[in-house]
Each structure stands twice: as C-alpha cells, then as structure tokens.
Structure 1
C-alpha cells in the first residue's frame, strides 16, 4: 500500500473549507471574531457547561485553570503518571510541584484509590494540595463515581484534562463537565481539530472571566494598554475557530467511524495474545470517543518495540502508549504513588491507526500487518 497510514490524521472535508472560506471573506482575520464567540458557545452547549474559553492549545487551558485553582510555588498538584507531557508541564508552568499516581490496568486511567491515598498522605505530611488533575486517557472518561465524591469530601478542587476525550461521557455526563474546570485539545491529531487549539470549560463564571483576561495579556479596561497582572498570549484565532465549528458539526459521525474501526480491530485481532484497553472494564465503547484504539500485548516473549518497528517498516504509524511521566528525564525525582501498572502498560502497549478518515482497505492492511508481525 502506497504512502503512510497515520495514527490519527485530520479528517477534513468540503464542510471545513466552506466555514474557513466564509471566515476569510468576512474580514475577521484578526485573532478574535464572531467565529470564536460561536465556537465557545457551541462547545459549551455540547459539553453541558455554562462557560467556555477558546485558546491556542489545550496546554494553555490547563495552565490557566491551574492558576485559577491557586496552583503555585509551595503547592502540589496530583495527577496521573500515564499522560502526555502537557499535563505535567502545565503544573510546572504554574510553579507547583507535580506528584504522580499509577494507572488502573484495565483502561490505563488513573487509579482512584491511589489518587485518594496520595492526597491524604500529602496532606498528612503538611503539604498544600492545590488540586487534582485527572486525564481521560485515549478518549475514555475516568471513574468519576469514585473520584468526585472523595475529592468533594476533602474539599480538593478537580481539574479534568479531557484533551483526548471530547464526545466521550461517563454515566451520561460529558467529558469536560467534571470538576471545577476542564480542558479540551483540538490539536491536529485529536478527534476534531482546529489545527492547533484548545478550550477551557467551567460552570464558574468568575474563573473563566479571569482566565479570559489573563489569556489576552491581562489587559485592563482602560483607554491605553494597562496591565496589573502578568498575562499570556493564549487566545484562539477566528480562522481556526471557524475550522473547529465545521469539525464540530461532524463530530458524531467521526466518533462513530472510530468506534467502527475499533470494533473491526477487536473482532479481527481477538484471537491474538492481546487485550484492548477498556474492553474488560464492564463499560461499553459507546461512552468512549475511541480517539485511539490501544492494545496490550500479553505474550511475554513479544517485544513491542520490535512490533512497532515492523509496522513502521510496512508504512503504518503505530506508537507506544504514553511513557509515564515519572520515567521522563524532565520529571526526574518527582514523587510517585505506585508505578507498576503504568510502567507495564508502557512496556507492553501500543496504539493503532484510529483516524476517522481511514479507509476500509487501510484498516484491513493494518490488521493483516499486526497478525503477521505478532505471528512471527
């Protein structure tokens, strides 16, 4: 098969072209404009929250949210070790110390019991816990039935990193609607994209209003440029918001295609020595957005690095799961509660091409390649 089969290529059609062209022709080329306002309103309605703030990245959303929660020097933020670097980097940006927690083996999401243990232990030691960040891994919401009540009882604010999970839900509540605030990402490989961008979500009007101010260099409402706080250049452009609005009209169809691809993988690869993340947790894929289909190789003699190398040689982009943050050189010395599960998932796990633009023949090619590689 000619060309590379990508992990999660952007799915763009004539709909996106129309929205972006209309934005161009409107004259709103400057950073803000009506498409930004509409995109914020549409995402807030989709997720079921009162307020949304369109930003340059999901990382920016996490950073601003952490600042609003009071994260800073002398404080700690508890978060999963199994996550992309942006989650932990945003904590460091705030000046707070990241403390990592191990995963559940079934779906890779944070272990709620370890999470609560970390909060209680840190507080018993006299540490100031600014908040807890959850990460909805690969498009599957965390176990918020176990997490939310425990944090509310302890009066610890929750920040939901739903960067990978737009369109997913947990018991009927949309990902992005949990906690004091949440962050979405519209990076190029996400389930829907604005090329680059993110969104801060919250029901707290004051939190979003202040974050909005900080995101535009903290300019005061004066006749000149007045700044009483340090701000950031974090806003989303009107053109990218137009692209996001178009993608949002197609989100349900793109999710269903990813779910269909996952079903094909599960059916075709079920006899191999692999398990699929989330498959044995008792929750249906219908509540996941199926951003990435991730499997864990259970053959002790299989070398996942070799498997991925062989898939790459065949023109297939497949990747290791996130390398746990406590194993990253940039986070050397960070405190961790548990490590075995996340380290095992990294060692044995892989994400397969999952994009909604994949053709049936491309999926067939990936399946045949995985079967061949694991059989040798």
Structure 2
C-alpha cells in the first residue's frame, strides 16, 4: 500500500489533552487576551515547581530565551561562545545576534552531545590565543542528557558560565535533577513539535533573581519605570501570551505521562527493529541520565546496507510517513563556514548515517507497525 492509502504520519505532532481548553476558556471569559495575565503567571509557577528552578520567564520561543540568556551572561560584540556543532541552528543564531562568534565543538559518540575532552582542548586553545570564551552553551540533543559531570567540571575549572539548552529535554533528568537546572541559566522550547507545546513558545529558568528580573524587563520592550514610555536600552517583544500560556498549563499536567510514552516508543522501536542489522540504536544515556527520548534516532550501518538515510526517508514518504535526517552539523552550514571548529568527524558521521523516526506521543501500535513494515521493505532482516 502506498501513501494515498494512509493518513499522514508525522514525526512529532502536537498532542493536546483535555485540560488546555479549560485554561483558554477561562482566559476568554475573563477577557485576559492581553500578553500578560493569570495563565502566564501560573505557567511560570508550574515550570518552577516541576524543575525546582527558583525563577522562570515564559517567552515567545526557546531562541528568544537563549538570546536573553546570553545577554544576562554578558555576551556582546567580539566575544566567543562555545557551542556544540551537532544541534539545531537556533542554538547558535543568538550568538550572532549579539555580534559574538560561535566556537563549535564536536560530539562524543555515546550521548551525541558535546565532547568534554574537546571542550577542554578548545578552551585552552582559545585562551592561548588571547580569546577566553565568554560562555558555554550546553545542549541535550533529542532529549538525551549530556555528560554533565564532566562538562560542568571543565566549565568550572576555567570559570566559564553555562547556558543549558534543554529545548528538547524538558522532563529529562540527570542523577534525579531535572535537565535545564544545571547551568547558570536554562532554556526550554514549547514549539509545536516538542514534548510539551504552547504552539510556539519557550522559557528561561534561573536561580538568580536579578537575572530573572533583567530578562523580564528586556522581554517587555525594556520600559523604564515611568508614567510615559521611556527606554534607555534596547528591548524585545519576547513575552509569551496569556492565551498560549494557558495551553502550556494544560500540557504541564500531562508531562510525566508524555515522557513515559516517548520512552515506551523508543523501547518499542528498539525491540521490534532488533532483527534489522542495518539499524543501530547507539545514543545511550550517561550514568545517572534519564532521557525524555523526545525523538527516536537511529543510525544505518554502512557495513550492513548500501541504503542511505535519504533513501530510507524517501521510501517512508511513499507510505506517507514523515521522518527526518539528524541535524546537519553547524560547522558544515554555509552560515558558519568561517567559525572555529574543534573535531567534527563524530557529528559529521552521525549526520551522514542517522535518521529520526515518528515519535509523537499519540502514535498507536498500528502506526508503529506501519513504520516497522515500511522499514522492513527496504532493509532486510537478519
């Protein structure tokens, strides 16, 4: 059967529950459709309660949160910011907003996140050149906890503040502590494809009250305290709306179940594709790590098949199944062709061999078997 015989099976579509509409109705009934309101305050409290962070500012996107997070860390024109190459471009774009330069670092092969050894090498090399990095952006790719013990130790040894990009990792943990709470600031995304969505949105969390106040100020056009509109610094229109925050409040009530389901989906694929030697499940949790398994990502073993990830993706498309290549490393992007890179072979190989499979929490057993059968058409069993 081909694509016209099936409804579209998306990679990670929004999955709404039964409570979001209640918060939206309440906001409409009370005429709280302005950017701020009770849902916004409540959503920020919910995030603080879930993560244990002392302060949260809900924003229009995870990108906005990274941008403001870098500002409070003091990043400005001419600075350098350490950043993994293997991540979505939104991790690095805010560095350039501020006139700074990303310094890209390769992954290690277990979690696929930034390599601690190369991080140390990069820091020491930049310092030798008289270019001490201003900050480190640390990412938990596809919801997988990075090697936090090692990475935080390196950052601390050189007194480099950490911005923790947990855009894909809400609900994950490391040694029992929620991801997003290990850095000086943490960032989440609530884009439509994330494990929790507000349609579009994000948040910054921190334990520093002055930074939280500064982020809130900058996110609301940096209005000085005056009866008229007065502005002394550049501000941004970055605050999440009260209506979208209502969706977020309803979604937060379901987060634990959503994480559980994503992990079940990963385990299902791992079990049922075990007899396909061309596929490898190699992104593994570090000791003490608990991934939310936002997306199930697999590698094709070139020693077992000549099929490429792109050929597999196109084959799945004939069954109306969406899949996606792994992130193209940022050091290979034309946008960043002149940026420094330390290593690069690991994340390049991951990109050339990897693909993400449908992982949305509303996926059914029938849907999963449909993916399985389509894969088995093109990749032989053992």
Residue among 290, 299, 303 paired with 2:302: 299
- Aligned pair count? 374
Between 1:301-310 and 1:29-38, the stretch displaced more is 301-310
Match of 2:349 among 344, 350, 357: 344
Q: Which runs of 5+ in 1 are unaligned?
A: none
Match of 1:118 in 2: 122
Mapped partners of 1:316, 1:241: distance in 2:
31
Report the TM-score when normalising by structure 2: 0.95
2:259 maps to which of 230, 234, 255: 255
Query: What's the CA shift for 1:107?
Result: 2.3
Question: Does structure 1 residue 216 correspond to structure 2 residue 224?
Answer: no
Select the residue among 17, 25, 28 that pairs with 1:13.
17
In structure 2, what is the equivalent of residue 78 of structure 1?
Answer: 82
2:324 aligns to what? 319
Runs of 4+ in structure 1 off by over 4 angstroms are 281-284
1:129 pairs with 2:167: no
Deviations 1:14-36 (A, max 9, x none): 22222222222121000000111
| Maintained 8 Å contact 2:116/2:154 | no
SS in 2 for 1:39: helix
Counterpart residue number, 1:66: 70
**Equivalent-residue separation in structure 1 for 2:82 and 2:225 (angstroms):** 36
Q: Deviations over 1:44-91 (max 9, x none)?
A: 111111000000000000000001111111110001000001001011
Provide the rounded CA distance (Å) in 2 between the counterparts of 1:48 and 1:282: 22
- Aligned residue number for residue 366 of structure 2: 361
1:89 lines up with 2:87 in the alignment: no
Secondary structure of 1:375's match? coil
Alpha-carbon distance in structure 1 between the residues aligned to 2:287 and 2:270: 15
- 2:38 aligned partner: 34
Partners of 2:74 and 2:101 lie apart in 1 by 12
Contact 1:108 1:277 in 2 (8 A): no
Is the deviation greater in 110-119 or in 268-277? 268-277
C-alpha distance in structure 2 between counterparts of 1:96 and 1:128, whole Å: 13
* Aligned-partner SS, 2:198: coil
CA distance in 1, matches of 2:39, 2:22: 13
Aligned to 1:310: 315
Q: CA deviation digits over 1:177-235, x for unaligned, max 9?
A: 01110110000000010000000010111111111100001001111001000000000
Aligned partners of 1:3 and 1:315 also within 8 Å: yes
> 1:157 and 2:161 equivalent?
yes
Residue of 279, 283, 287 corresponding to 1:274: 279
- Residue 139 (structure 1) aligned with residue 143 (structure 2): yes
RMSD: 1.3
Say whether the 8 Å CA contact 2:17–2:250 is kept in structure 1. no
Q: Structure 1 CA distance, aligned partners of 2:191 and 2:148?
A: 25
Structure 2 CA distance for partners of 1:175 and 1:282, relative to 1, 3 Å: closer
CA contact (8 A) 1:296 1:349 kept: yes
Structure 1's 313 and 283: CA in aligned 2 closer, same or farther, altered over 3 A?
farther
Among candidates 106, 110, 128, match of residue 106 of structure 1: 110
Post-superposition offset of 1:135: 0.6
Contact 2:111 2:145 in 1 (8 A): no
The answer to whether the 8 Å contact 1:77/1:96 transfers is yes
The TM-score, its normalising length taken from structure 1, stands at 0.97
Q: Which moved more, 1:18-27 or 1:58-67?
A: 18-27
Task: Say if 1:74 and 1:128, in contact at 8 Å, map to a contact too.
Answer: no
Distance 1:178 1:374 in 2: 41
Matched, 1:185 2:185: no
d(CA) in 2 for partners of 1:225 and 1:128? 39
Deviation at 1:283, TM superposition (A): 4.6
Change (3 A) 1:268 1:283: farther
Work out the CA distance in 1 between the residues paired with 2:118 and 2:292: 26
